[in-house]
Structure 1
């Protein structure tokens, strides 16, 4: 028995010794597929492994396997990443013991690809290198608008190529906005987008003018004013008024190119606000002003005779130029904040400062308004007109329209000036550089300017539904401030000698008086001859007719505001207006500076195809000699 047991143990031990040797000889690994193919987008596939031993999967770096090892039969998941290059081929190996099984794998590639499609160069012009992978020869096409960028190499053969794009040095302020390069390959193409940031310094810091910090009882329709800023790069600057009533947690804003604006909505009554201004240049660089606080009033009516500042000057000139707006035919209830009078002023101011050169020089002006109660709305009209019958009205300044076929208008000029002299900073001397706009509360096509030799004026502007804005530009901007003369021609005759003498007399006090009119007829002597050879001013010439007559008098351009009330002053008229702005503000007029800022060099309608607008002439200005 003992021998039997001993022999059995020997046999069992021998069998254990034989097992490893038998497994090694029998290692086997097979797979369900011998080849796998992916599209260029990649994705997952499964593979069945049949084995009788432990195994490990080895994949190329663009394929992952889960699980990557095991024992016996199993299913593995293979995931291929997206292929951004050319077609790729490789082998997956499954090894275990003495067994080895291989699966061929491949993935479709691209015909063409670039490692970068959008190139935004920094202001220093740092080159950018990227890689092109292509099955075809390729060429980069650079259009004229992108000639500031170069490519190296500009073309290549099939395969993988590194390309460097380099921007040329920036020598001016021309924006290098997004534009496109074309890469041609095979029978197709693709686009590369290029742009470059400008070297850019932010504009100066705005200085707030009004309302003052801590101001009380501020009008709910207050106009905010601040200083004009300069940009060190010479870029155009715009502004954003920011206003908050919750201590700066939230801000409302209004964008403008001017240095004054109202908030888009009426402010709340009896409310604390803070405000500031942001200056932004054409390339997005910005600066912020200080922050100020103010408190609005109760929003009640202006008192009779109350003076309000609509806009403060901010140009930094030695003196402000005063413009004063008052109304006639407005009764007490029209003087509520934001009411009929405020709306009329806003329309008139907008009309004046929408026609060059006034917008460019707006920050030289201090604009004041005066509330003057009339007993009745309207104006006295002596004869029936198309929009209003003959009537008599009791108004503060006795505004009177001749009516009928006449556009003539008059008022009590002395009373107007007596109110104007109440404006802070006003004097008899300052009044001679001041234009007063009398806004007459009647819907009628009419208007006249009372012009004084000394320089003061009253521009009477009835509020015709379609003529209010033109009358402000013609009577106020043209006659009143610009000291321009009419270019109408309704007397088919030569300019009389007495009118020639009158023109010469007035020019003795102001050489720029009637600067849009010439009586020499000599191209070498006419005072706008300096435009004849200046590029951009081809519309300036000598056109016979003006100052109410068809002969013996000349105007500089075919059409302008002083002819048919259009929103356009001819070049010599713009020059005269700017000359008066400089003189009245205590600065010296410089022709080169004027030209550099002149935004409209010719009428939008050319000399060849101008279109005359149909407009009934306003009455000639009332010429008052207060110097004798």
Structure 2
């Protein structure tokens, strides 16, 4: 599909006829301010024609888009932008094409629609405690008989009623009054049903405020430390667990300790940390929050924020978190994993690593955020906490899932940097079986039954980056860590816990003797189907 846009670049100049091209003053005038829409399919194109009286260049900031030609001389010109891949993200992809002539430049916004999309007017709605009517507007290209709209709460939201005009939809809801103290959350989920499966295309979050927010008055337990587990092997690798959004009454009645205890249990529920638990010292630091609600107008100890909507991104104030970590004495903070558990049932999780010491050297310190997803005993809580804290935070593994597009040059460079540090050992930028980081496993008959190979797609990208297995804890969360990931975890435990750099055969002996392979499949759970936030490489200095 091609879209033609004619851009007239009027170059005004006040020079004699004998003036050279270099002396011509550049000037742009673009008739249209509308964005260019590109079809969802791979190789979809848009053609931009213009006239310039000086030499020009064209470039884009998107790795999923190519531009040809990228430069030209004065006169009539035509630039073709081509989508390198199909847009399967479920969201519109945006790029900027910059045309430059001389010292002046103009930007043109290009948008590639997804294969199947639902575009919502806004991803989140705040509703007063009194309730009332709510309208959610969205656009979609999904046929009416294939589009399903679900509500996660039917007791205080009416059944959605939709009206449609062409591609425009409006869901009209009635929200009941909330008589509880705490706010409540519901999601409207947009799904395409193609007959064989249902694909989540977008999610809208509705938060209704409660009657009032509970506030802490007793901060006497704030920053107190509980030694949860003492290492009986090695040097004692430190893990510090703390919670955000817990008020004084929830600490006094034991809720806080129950959450910390469950987090500890979940952290050591997968191999190889399950068999190597004795190498860890684990501490809980109590954090008393003013409110037990996240969002505008409320205060929590670490100011954690959940992006909401279809996003699973979480962030907090890492300087404050570091200050609470330092309540634990006599540990190596540069090697500490901090786990922050949010007093929320939201499906979310994000890890931050890549910190440096005072000399600018990369250190192992990391912060993993995870809410108490659904409930304390939820399989989601266990799986996501393991994925974030052990996978990303402790072992510095990369994600093995993919959404769309070819891996960007920036991300590829970051992967290489991580691997130079011994991190990101579960992905590679080559598909050569004898050259990938896990080549030894592919040639080892002892791992023939594990289904290892070279599978395209990782680090959220579909192309030009590869993972060791079809599925894993770093992919869907519903199966255990694959062998290369287990080795990365084992290697760090041995190095940090015993000061020994293990060999490949050392790992295999442990892996087989401990019968780890037969215990890597986790309890099944149906994934909500939302993309998980990629770990953030912070490049910040730890506050020593």
1:397 aligns to 2:311 (yes or no): no
Higher relative contact order (CA 8 A, sep 6+): 2
8 Å CA contact retained: 1:378, 1:440: no
2:351 is aligned, of 449, 462, 466, to: 449
2:400 corresponding residue in structure 1? 487
User: Match for 2:507 among 594, 601, 613?
Assistant: 594
Residue in 2 that maps onto 1:519: 429
Instruction: Give the 3 Å change call, closer, same or farther, for CA 302–487 of structure 1 in structure 2.
Output: farther
In the aligned structure 2, how far is the partner of 1:313 from the partner of 1:561? 25
Check the 8 A contact 2:387/2:473 in 1, yes or no.
yes
**5+ long unaligned stretches in structure 2:** 1-217, 355-361
* Structure 1 match to 2:246: 330
1:376 aligns with 2:285: no
Relative to structure 1, the CA distance from residue 612 to residue 446 in structure 2 (aligned partners, 3 Å threshold; closer, same or farther) is closer
Between the aligned partners of 2:316 and 2:457, the Cα distance in structure 1 is 30
How many aligned residue pairs are there?
307
**Deviation per CA, 1:324-370, whole angstroms, max 9, x where unpaired?**
00010011122237x11111112111111111011110000000000
Deviates more, 1:453-462 or 1:568-577: 453-462
Pairing 1:551–2:466 present: no
Contact 1:454 1:626 in 2 (8 A): no
Query: Cα RMSD over matched residues?
Result: 2.5
- 1:612 Cα shift? 9.0
Contact 1:321/1:434, CA 8 A, preserved across alignment: yes
Give 3-state SS (helix, strand or coil) of 2:474's partner.
helix
> Matches of 1:308 and 1:603 in 2, distance apart?
31
Q: Is the 8 A contact 1:360 1:597 kept in 2?
A: no
CA distance change for structure 1 residues 351 and 604 in 2, over 3 Å: closer, same or farther?
A: closer
Once the 2 structures are TM-superposed, how far is the Cα of residue 422 of structure 1 from its aligned partner? 2.1
Residue number among 426, 447, 455 corresponding to 1:537 in the alignment = 447
Q: Provide the rounded CA distance (Å) in 2 between the counterparts of 1:483 and 1:477.
A: 8
Structure 1 residue 618 and structure 2 residue 532: aligned? yes
CA distance in 1, matches of 2:289, 2:337: 22
1:426-476, CA deviations, whole angstroms, 9 ceiling, x for partnerless residues?
A: 2xxx22211100010011001101112422111011111142212211111
Aligned-partner SS, 1:562: coil
2:269 pairs with 1:354: yes
The Cα of 1:611 is off from its aligned counterpart by 11
Q: 1:602 to 1:545 in 2, by over 3 A?
A: farther
C-alpha displacement at 1:586, in angstroms? 3.9
Alpha carbons 1:565, 1:615 under 8 Å: kept: no
TM-score, length-normalised on structure 2?
0.53
Distance 2:258 2:305 in 1: 22
- In 1, Cα distance between the equivalents of 2:465 and 2:391? 19
Does 2:230 align with 1:312?
A: yes
Tell me, what secondary structure is at the counterpart of 2:348? Answer: coil
> Per the alignment, in what secondary structure is the counterpart of residue 323 of structure 2?
helix
1:459 aligns with 2:364: no
- Assess, with a 3 A threshold, how the Cα gap between structure 1 residues 555 and 377 changes in structure 2: closer, same or farther: same
Contact map agreement 1:409 1:447 (CA 8 A) in 2: yes
Q: CA deviation at 1:301?
A: 10
Residue 390 of structure 2: aligned partner = 477
Moved more, 614-623 or 346-355: 614-623
1:497-519, Cα deviation, whole Å (9 max, x unpaired): 111111112333x22x1111111
Q: Structure 1 residues 392, 442: CA separation in 2 closer, same or farther (over 3 Å shift)? A: farther
- The list of structure 1 runs, each at least 4 consecutive aligned residues, that deviate by more than 3 angstroms after superposition, is 602-605, 610-615
Partner of 1:562: 474
Distance in 2, matches of 1:558 and 1:480, equals 22
Alignment of 1:165-184 (within 5 A): none
d(CA) in 2 for partners of 1:365 and 1:611? Answer: 28
Tell me, which stretches of 5 or more residues in structure 1 are unaligned?
1-299, 381-390
Are the equivalent residues in 1 in contact too, given 2:426–2:437 (CA < 8 A)? no
User: What is the 5 A alignment of 1:71-82?
Assistant: none
Q: Which shifted more, 362-371 or 463-472?
A: 463-472
Q: Is the 8 A contact 1:438 1:460 kept in 2?
A: yes
* Aligned counterparts of 1:406 and 1:470: Cα–Cα separation in 2: 18
Q: In the alignment, which residue of structure 2 is the partner of 1:321? A: 237
**Structure 2 Cα separation of the partners of residues 301 and 310 of structure 1:** 21
Q: What does residue 504 of structure 1 align with?
A: 416
> How far off is 1:600 after superposition?
2.8
Distance 1:537 1:594 in 2: 12
* Post-superposition offset of 1:496: 1.1
- Report the structure number with the largest CA radius of gyration: 1
Aligned partner (choices 402, 420, 423) of residue 328 of structure 2: 423
When residues 365 and 596 of structure 1 are mapped into structure 2, their CA distance, relative to the original with a 3 A threshold, is same
CA distance in 2, matches of 1:604, 1:410: 30
